[in-house]
Structure 1
Amino acid sequence: MASYAPLFVNNNDQTWNPDAIVFNSWQQYGTPSYWMQKLFRESSGAMIHAVTVNSSYSGSLAASAITWHDNENSFLKVKIVNFGMDAVSLTISTTGIENSVNALGSTATVLTSGEVMDENSFPNPNKVVPVTVELRNAADVMQVTLPPHSFSAFDLALAQSTLVADM
């Protein structure tokens, strides 16, 4: 459960920043704060797993991992925030998860921008929005690179376990 205030702001009466959704009489856009809230809302109600970050950049990283299920599939979602000014390469290892990672259906979503103070606007409402790509290299152990000042979410599809019944 999360709450965000103020959620909406009229462009003609913007008292403070950030708000989540900016509107005027005929258009609207989500701020980077809106997109962050949306990304954390997804896959809630899941099982939390312990996370260890071993990196010389560990002071600029925060991470969490959960398993969640939609109607048909199971996923391991690894969320990592890179607060630092440098790109960080690291290894994600899924030890301790019952099922292995399946590249088919795995995705990476990244929210970042070229400048840390970038904002969306009516002329450019998609300047800072999440970008989702397929993760063709998804595996139980995989290398990833986190852009500076970014939020990355890796939805790793978990292979379905096969149940064998004794008859």
Structure 2
Amino acid sequence: MAIWYEVEKNKEGIKNFLGSNCEFHDYRIDRIEYVASKDYCDVYLSFCKTEGTVIRFVGLFDIHIHGDIDYEADWMFGSELFIQDNGRFIWINDENYGDDSSHIDDYKSYATWIEADRIFFAVTDGEQNPIEIPIYHIDRNVRSLNYDTNKYDIIHQHYDLKPFEGDFKDILKPKY
């Protein structure tokens, strides 16, 4: 399996990216690294002491970091990712409105968000080093409450991820 994956620019690609990372539910932003000279930004998210995810935004357009956060307690409920009319992705560390993109301006008023042309991601170890993706990010069984029977059903989830087989040296370049 690969270490880095690229988010495909369609609804299925977004579903696979978010789903394979549990929509980033109970993740927390640890740090954000902006590299202006190469036109990218890495967002390091932790899930537990042994695992996390790094999201690499390439071809940046805009970044907003909401700093009024209690970092000891501010675990994310989830995140959203949209493709805008201009063709750019916008990732938002909140899921108050679900996949309803008509609320992007509301999100922008209070959330951390990043707008970019391309998105890559990798699972990280406890030291935030990218590692080969564990199989449970691609295939897993989850318990889901069936409200009709009031019992839990086991649902298999599979995510088709696009491995990044290129070289970041070829794409991490300034716009000028």
Larger of the two Rg values belongs to structure: 1
TM > 0.5 fold call: no
Quick one: higher RCO (CA 8 Å, sep 6+), 1 or 2? 2
Bigger proportion of residues as helix: 2
Calculate the TM-score normalised by the size of structure 2: 0.29
TM-score, length of structure 1 as denominator length: 0.30
